[in-house]
Amino acid sequence: MSIFIIAEIGINHNGDLDIAKKLIDVAKIAGVDAVKFQKRTIDLVYTKELLDSPRESPWGTTQRAQKEGLEFGLNEYKEIDAYCKRKKIEWFASAWDIESQRFSQQFDLRFNKIASAMIVFEDLLKEVASEKRHTFISTGMASIKDIDRAVEIFRNADCPFELMHCVSTYPMDDEDANLNCIMTLRDRYQCGVGYSGHEVGLAVSYAAAAMGITSLERHITLDRAMYGSDQAASVEVGGFIALVGAVRKIEKAMGDGVIGIHEKEVPIARKLRAHIPWGSSG
């Protein structure tokens, strides 16, 4: 099975539908399987005290202005839905509250995503699992107990899922990747395991691809210097195209693990071993 590659647009569109469409275009050119957004109901996710607190941004001087400036509503998502259908690319969103998850239900989406921050939000997990859509569950900031409970909820609901090993630092230092957790998760839960990366560069993602992951998610951006908390941990256009191309090569290169003489080696073996008497061994 081919690795399912997700371009995480998240909030890197900066509230601009034209930027969102450009990122969808890049993802399509790169050959990803889907793009993903993030959806929040601002007054449910954040306290009034935080929203009223100061923060300088392109949209104003408060946290509320910044967070509302980054949030797409129904009209924008209708356009995103239509645009992705025209481009023949899947899209979905990670909800940060139950209302946002129900918002997504009005679209005919094939996938759901549990963000690392939300893996401990049991009511949201139950809402998502009730839809029975294939769900990617990120495990950043989660204990074994947290992951056990999430897996239990999805299995009790008979909802297909896979876990995604994740370290929730932005950007993540390479030495913190702990990619061997991919095997630990696979062995413990006997399910597909992907990788959601926030590192600078591509090498760690390539290593994950060689470990038999079922999915790969990386943030995508037009420019890492753009405004936004996720931009520095994102991959720019050229890098994303290189990432997808390399991952597809890695998939082909892994092979089936069966040892034997490859048919393409036979004429070379005859030539290079021509001086060896028949019947020789060793």
Instruction: Note the pLDDT of residue 133.
Output: 98
Question: Residue 88 — pLDDT band, cuts 50, 70, 90?
Answer: very high
Contact 9, 37 (CB under 8 A): yes
**What is the tens place of the pLDDT at every residue in 226-278?**
898 889 889 999 999 999 999 999 999 999 999 999 999 999 999 999 999 86
Contact 186, 151 (CB under 8 A): no
Q: Which CATH number fits domain 4-257: 3.20.20.70, 3.30.1370.30, 3.40.50.150, 1.20.810.10?
A: 3.20.20.70
pTM across the whole model:
0.94
The stretch 208-213 carries a mean pLDDT of: 98
**What is the tens place of the pLDDT at every residue in 121-149?**
999 999 999 999 999 999 999 999 999 99
Instruction: Note the pLDDT of residue 232.
Output: 86
Give the span between the Cα atoms of 178 and 194, in whole angstroms: 13
Give the span between the Cα atoms of 30 and 24, in whole angstroms: 10
Contact 199, 168 (CB under 8 A): no
By DSSP bridging, strand 60-62 and strand 54-57 are antiparallel
Residue 47 confidence (pLDDT) above 60: yes
Q: What is the DSSP string of the chain?
A: ---EEEEEEETTTTT-HHHHHHHHHHHHHHT-SEEEEEE--HHHHS-HHHHHSEEEETTEEEHHHHHHHH---HHHHHHHHHHHHHHT-EEEEEESSHHHHHHHTTS--SEEEE-GGGTT-HHHHHHHHHHT-EEEEE-TT--HHHHHHHHHHHHHTT--EEEEEE---SSBPGGG--TTHHHHHHHHH-S-EEEEE-BSSSHHHHHHHTTT-SEEEEEB-S-TTSSSTTGGGSB-HHHHHHHHHHHHHHHHHH-----S--GGGHHHHHHHTTTSPTT---
